[in-house]
Amino acid sequence: MEQRHGFGIGIVLSGLVLAAVQTLHGVQQSDRPLVFAFEAGPFVLIGLALAYAGVWLARNEQFDPDLERILAWGMGSTLLFASVAALMLFSQRVTLGTLDRASFIAIDLVTVGAVVGVVLGLYDARGQRQLRQLERQRDRIETFANKPADVNNYGRAFNRSGSLDEVSGLCIQAMQALLGISETAVVALEDDIVYPVDNTIINVEGGDLAPLVRDARGYDSASVITHDDPQGPLAGRGDTALSILLAEGDGDAVVVVAAVSEETDLADEDLQLVELLASHAQTALDDIWAAGPVESEAAG
């Protein structure tokens, strides 16, 4: 049983008990339906409203981080209204010398205090949830705001690259630094033979990635191709695999393949950054290609 279910059941039972007590008090005060409806009816409904709030809390997991806050509001408000009841009864005892209807007054105020406290607790919890969402959004915006500058720095580094190995190393580094993707391979295809230029994907050989490499050649250069629930050598590595065609010509191609774990949440903005990064790498490879065949130490 989850914690919120326990909290919800406790609130439901409290509401039902208070509703039952209010019903009993109503019967004790008068057997006339009209008197019962106006004297006890509203408090019975308040008790049932408390029970409903407990059911609603148990079914909504969004309040899990704030269960203690809701409980504190409920208990605090109940104690506050109980204290008000005690003061009223003390004043009645001093001024009138009687404690008639003491139990009725106490239960009425406790019922109101309980439901007011739980409602305030739910309202406060919702406010805290919205505040946490705003903070996450702010952090996301701040993080994203710094990434384009890093992409530009990598772009300048790509433009200074003089070989495929240098471009490959920058791709591996950028995927880790900017996106938190630790398993990446830069793979070259020459005369239909696949070999890795750089590979940080554990227990996966460059040749194992041949299907993704050949599939990437069917898309535009510098475009991110998303493979949901990848099979083959990348099965179990994560929910998604990315492949990006960096350069293609004369039967040769260079492709980046990345395995994205469950902990790595790539937003649309992140994918746009990847494409921007890939365009810098593509430009660098085109310049290298124009100077001669794309070669790598790994090809040897």
Neighbours of 194 (CB within 10 A): 20
Chain-centroid distance of CA 64 in Å reads 13
- Residue 251 has phi, psi (to 5 degrees) of 85, -5
- Rounded Cα distance between 184 and 242, Å, is 9
Q: What is the pLDDT of residues 35-87, one digit of tens each?
A: 667 677 888 888 888 888 888 888 888 878 888 888 899 899 989 999 988 88
- Rounded Cα distance between 203 and 234, Å, is 10
Mean pLDDT estimate for the chain: 79
pLDDT at position 79 = 92
pLDDT at position 196 = 79
CA atoms within 13 A on the CB side of 149: 5
Q: Are 178 and 170 in contact (CB under 8 A)?
A: no
Q: What is the pLDDT of residues 102-156, one digit of tens each?
A: 778 888 888 889 899 988 988 888 888 888 888 887 777 776 666 777 778 888 8
What average pLDDT does this structure show over 272-296? 76
Residues counted in the chain? 300
300: confidence class by pLDDT, cuts 50, 70, 90: very low
Q: pLDDT at residue 271 above 70?
A: yes
Least confident of 19-33, 74-88, 151-165: 19-33
State pTM to two decimals: 0.54
Q: Tokens 């607790």 sit at which residue?
A: 121
What share of the chain has pLDDT > 90, as a percent? Answer: 1
pLDDT at position 174 = 85
282: confidence class by pLDDT, cuts 50, 70, 90: confident
